[in-house]
Each structure stands twice: as structure tokens, then as C-alpha cells.
Structure 1
Amino acid sequence: MVYQTMPDYMRVPLFDMPQDAQMWALYLFSALAVLTYLLAMYRCIAERSPNPLLYCLGGTVTCFLEPLLTRLLDATHAQNGQQLAYESLGQRVPWHAAISYTFYFGLAYLSLVPAFRERRYTARTIWLMLFGVTASAWIYEVPLIRVGLWSYFGDQPYQPFGLQPVYWSFASMAMLITPTALIARYEALLQGWSRIMIVALAPIGAIAGAAGACWPVWFALNSPYGHGVKVFAATLTILFALFIAWLAIPLVARQKQESPQALLLQAGA
């Protein structure tokens, strides 16, 4: 059988995995994942609920989105000498990257889902948190890229210092707030065995947030079109990420309280 030739913009360069850095990342991320599960089990006992453990399981299974994200982002984990966890879409995912989803999402869910469920934070506070997520997503990848564990390639727009493109930093905001808001709002409806669907809500929400924000830049990066199109698409991705956050925040933010003057006026009417 004859197959269509792969266009240049779909080709993935090969990189050598730094062995010492890979081993240290595996040790560190595994320790953080274990601590995340220990915290979840403690919370399960304290709250007499299995939900905290389900949050962590949801974060763990979200790792299966990684090949889709790397394929569409023009990014890759170093392949040569990689400790392979699994492979899909022609993308090889190492163990340390797969494990990282457990603490990356698990800790976020453990801290934010209860707060969002109870609407503890104002919209302003949540916006500040999300901009913190945007900045921390960029900072988190700096050492991974510098030591060669992870690389972006091709014609990437908004990529300061050759590190994480800024559009993906903003997309991380949408990728986190969407599943967190979904779980916070719907977990009360899931009782008994249906609680297991909390695990499914995590990857469903994460890919919904990522795809909703990133579809313009995913299209542009995986096309033969020029840099101007990619910059425009990346700008749309940043705007869409902010739009997704704007849609989600009212679902979990503290409701504004009426002022005493407004309540008196309503009573008089």
C-alpha cells in the first residue's frame, strides 16, 4: 500500500533524552504523586467521602491527553533514550511526564474544588489565581526545556527565549478552570456509584478547555500557512482562554451581596 508523504510541517524532530535529568524528574514527580495520593486519602478519612481520591484519579487519567496536546502543539518529549510509558499518535510519552499529571491536576482539584463548591472566593480572587496559573505554567517548564527533557519546534508564535509559547501558558488557565468548575458544580449530583464519573469529568473538562482555547493555533501550526497566520491564531487562543475563564468563573465565584441601601430600596418598592 502506498501512503501519502508526510508534509514538512507535520514532521517531529528527534532529540536525545538527558538520562540524569530524566531520572531525577522521575524520582521527583513520583514523590509528588505519592504525596498527592496520601493527602487525598487523609482528606477522604477526614471528610468521610471518597471524592478527594477520585479527584486524584481524574488527574492521573488526564495524562492520556498528552499525545494529543504534544502532536497539535508542535512539541515533543525527547525520544532517544526515553523511559517510555506509552505511545499514541506517533508521540512517545515518558514516565515522568505521565506521572506529573497526578500532582499537577490532583493538587489543584484538592485545593480548589471544595473552595469553588462553597463559593469561597470572589471573581477577582479567582482571576488572580488563574493569572498565577498562567505564570506558573510558564515557569514550571523552564527547567524541563533547559535540560532537554521537553522541546517546542517549528514556527512557534509568542515564544520568549525559546521556552513555552505564551499562548499555551494562557491555555493552561482554560485547561484547569474548566474541569475544576465542572467537578465543583456537578459532584453533588453524583451519589453512590455514580461518583466514579468525577474521574471522567477531569479529562473531559481538561480537553474541553484546551481545545476550546487552542483550536485556532492547533490549526495554524499544523498547516502550511505562514507566520502571520500563526500569530493571529495564537492571539485568538489567548483571547479564547480568557473568554473560557470569564464564562466559568461566575459558576464558582462568591455571589455579590446587595448593599444595605439596595435592600432598603427593594423593601420600599
Structure 2
Amino acid sequence: MSENDRIFESVIHEIGDVTVNNTSQFILSAVLCTIIAAFAIYGCYEWRKTGRPIALVLIIAGAVTSSLEAITDVIGHLFIFGDGAHVVFTLAGRPIPLWAFAAHIVAWSVVGYMGYWVVSRGGTAREVSIVGLIGTAGNLLLELPATNMGVYEYWGDQGLKAFGTFPIVWAFINMGGGVMAGALLGALPKKALHGWRVLSIIPLVPSAVIGFIWFSGWPFFVAINYQGETITPNYWISTFGTVVSIVMALVYTNMIARLLCSAPEPVAARAQRTPGWRSLFTDSAALPRRRSATTT
């Protein structure tokens, strides 16, 4: 046990074996890196068509957002197995393996781009909320098997654990943050993301993500930490905090979406929408484009 792990000795004692399953980490890393590669290819296509590398910069922003993992792991009672892991970097004494690093990029770049795309095309608050639910479902589909693969574990008696391994509150507060970060980008004036200004996405995304996680997740964090970070909380208090945070995440996602989608400018001034999600790949008109100099 390393010196850093001694701080979490009681947690490790509760979990038991914290040696990573090598096959599992390889499968997770391969799947997630494949998704990133596909999204990067689309990002190059978008850059060529629109002159703005939104998707590519979102990939960088997702990588930067992974630096928040160590903070949320401690307060959210999540322990990533470091023994035998392919560690990308270590922060605050906690390892961030390749699969976790890639998961952050997928979550914040792909889901964030969905929020950006809907709002930038003049989408409605309802559509943004639907994107949030799609992201939540995707988070569930990823973490339900992942939490049973021997690479990390949510410890303690947390409320509403699906199949006894994954506290579903995380799917709501995580994806709400990702979608809202993207929606905020979509609501910005087009010139705000032209040229070097597009790099402002890099600090904006992690700020929006961690802001939403704390904004909606604080009842859950208080409920599971009121006795101390290494002590199992009361199940009913934990469950109550979990339910409150889920409701807050859903309500705040809709409220923020309504605010962004009702703004008179620039959302109302977007180019006419092309119906259907398939138009993203088949019609360049579906992508945000620079206004003509003659546009009034």
C-alpha cells in the first residue's frame, strides 16, 4: 500500500482487493478511445465545413476536465483502483487511469457537443432536456457494467445504487453539467467562437461541469459525508439526499435550457433549422455557419 493509499486505508479495507482487472481496463480503454477517434474524425469534418474546430477543442476541454476527478472522487465516495492500472496522471494522491481519462473526454466532448448543436440551431428547451436524458441513459449504460468490472467502486451505503454498484444520482448530475456546458456554447454569439476565441471553450467546459455538479449535487454530498468521508452514512439520509439531487438536476437542466433557448440573440438569429438528427452528417446547412457580411 502506497503512502497516499494510507489516507484511504479504511476505505480500502471496506472494498477489499483494489488491484485493477487488466482485461477490464483494456476493454474499457479500447471502447472509449475508439469513440474519441470517431469524434475527432467528425471534428475534422466540422472544421473543414464551418471553419471552427468546436468538436476538436471540446476534446481538449474534456481532457482538462478529467483533472476534477480526484476532487469529486473523495467527496463522492468513489475509489479508482490504482494497483496495476495504466495511469495517465496522479492528482491529490489519486491515480487517473487511461480508461477514466478517456471517459471524461467522451462525456464532456460528445455529450457537450450534442447540447451545443441543439442550441446553436435554435433548438427548444425541451430538445435540450431530451439530450440531457440521452446523456443520462448513456452514463447508466456505461457505468452499470463498468462498476462490475473490477476497475473502480463506489463505496459506502449510498442511496439508490443500481444493481448494488452504481449510485444513479451521478448519471444525472454528470450529464446535466455536460449538456449545459455545450448549451452555453451554443447560445454564444457566433463571433465569440471565431479564431483564437474558440480556445475559451477549454476553461469554460470544466467550470460549467463542476459548477453544475456542485449546484445540483450538494444535497447528495452532504448526505453521504455528514459523518465523515470514510464512514458509511445512514442509508435513509443518503437516499433522501440522492433523490433531492436528482430532482434538482432535472429541474435546473430545464430551467437553464429555457433561459438559453429563450434569449433573443443569438439563438433567435440562427440559420433556419434543418429537421432531423441525420442532417448533422448529410447537410452542411445543419451546422453553424458564419454570417454573410450582407446579413442584417
Query: Which TM-score tier does this pair reach, normalised by the shorter chain?
Result: 0.7 to 0.9
Q: For 2:195 and 2:149, how far apart are their aligned partners in 1?
A: 46
Task: Give the aligned residue type for 2:239.
Answer: V
Partner of 1:229: 237
Gaps of 5+ in 2: 1-5, 228-232, 264-296
Q: Is the 8 A contact 1:173 1:241 kept in 2?
A: no
Q: Distance in 2 between matches of 1:137 and 1:105?
A: 11
Following the alignment from structure 2 to structure 1, what is the Cα–Cα distance between the partners of residues 155 and 164?
A: 9
| Secondary structure in structure 2 of the residue aligned to 1:49 | coil
Q: Which amino acid is the alignment partner of residue 85 of structure 1?
A: V
Q: Distance in 2 between matches of 1:18 and 1:37?
A: 28
Q: How does 1:81-160 map to 2 (within 5 A)?
A: 81-120=84-123, 122-160=124-162
Summarize deviations over 1:33-65 as a string: whole Å, max 9, x none.
222212111110111223332222212211111
Q: Which has the higher helix share?
A: 1
Which residue of structure 1 aligns with residue 249 of structure 2? 241
SS at match of 1:132: helix
RMSD: 2.4
| Percent pairwise identity | 20
Q: Secondary structure at the match of 2:163?
A: helix
- Does residue 59 of structure 2 align to residue 56 of structure 1? yes
Alpha-carbon separation, structure 1, partners of 2:53 and 2:137: 32
| Distance (Å, rounded) in 1 between the aligned partners of 2:247 and 2:138 | 19
**Cα drift, residue 252 of structure 1:** 4.2
Runs (4 or more) in structure 1 with deviation over 4 Å come to: 5-8
Alpha carbons 2:183, 2:260 under 8 Å: kept: yes
Residue type of the alignment partner of 2:234: G
Distance (whole Å) between structure 2 residues aligned to residue 89 and residue 219 of structure 1: 21
Superposed counterparts of 1:164-175, under 5 Å: 164-175=166-177
Contact 2:181 2:205 in 1 (8 A): yes
* 2:277 matched residue in structure 1: none
Alpha-carbon distance in structure 2 between the residues aligned to 1:160 and 1:250:
30
**AA in 1 matched with 2:28:** A
SS state at 1:87 partner: strand
Aligned to 2:212: 209
* CA distance 1:11–1:150, shift in 2 (3 Å): closer
Instruction: Give the CA deviation at 1:108.
Output: 2.3
Take 1:51 and 1:177, find their aligned partners in 2: how far apart are those partners? Answer: 15
Letter in 2 for 1:74: H
What is the TM-score with the length of structure 1 in the denominator? 0.83
Q: What is aligned with 2:34? A: 31
Contact 1:62 1:202 survives alignment (8 Å): yes
| 1:161 maps to 2:163 | yes
Aligned pairs for 1:62-77 (under 5 A) are 62-77=65-80
Q: Matched residues in 1 for 2:97 and 2:189: separation?
A: 32
| Structure 1 stretches lacking a partner, 5+ long | 256-269
Structure 2 vs 1, CA of residues 110 and 242 (structure 1 numbering), >3 Å: closer, same or farther? closer
**Which stretch shifts more, 124-133 or 214-223?**
124-133
Structure 1's 172 and 193: CA in aligned 2 closer, same or farther, altered over 3 A? Answer: same
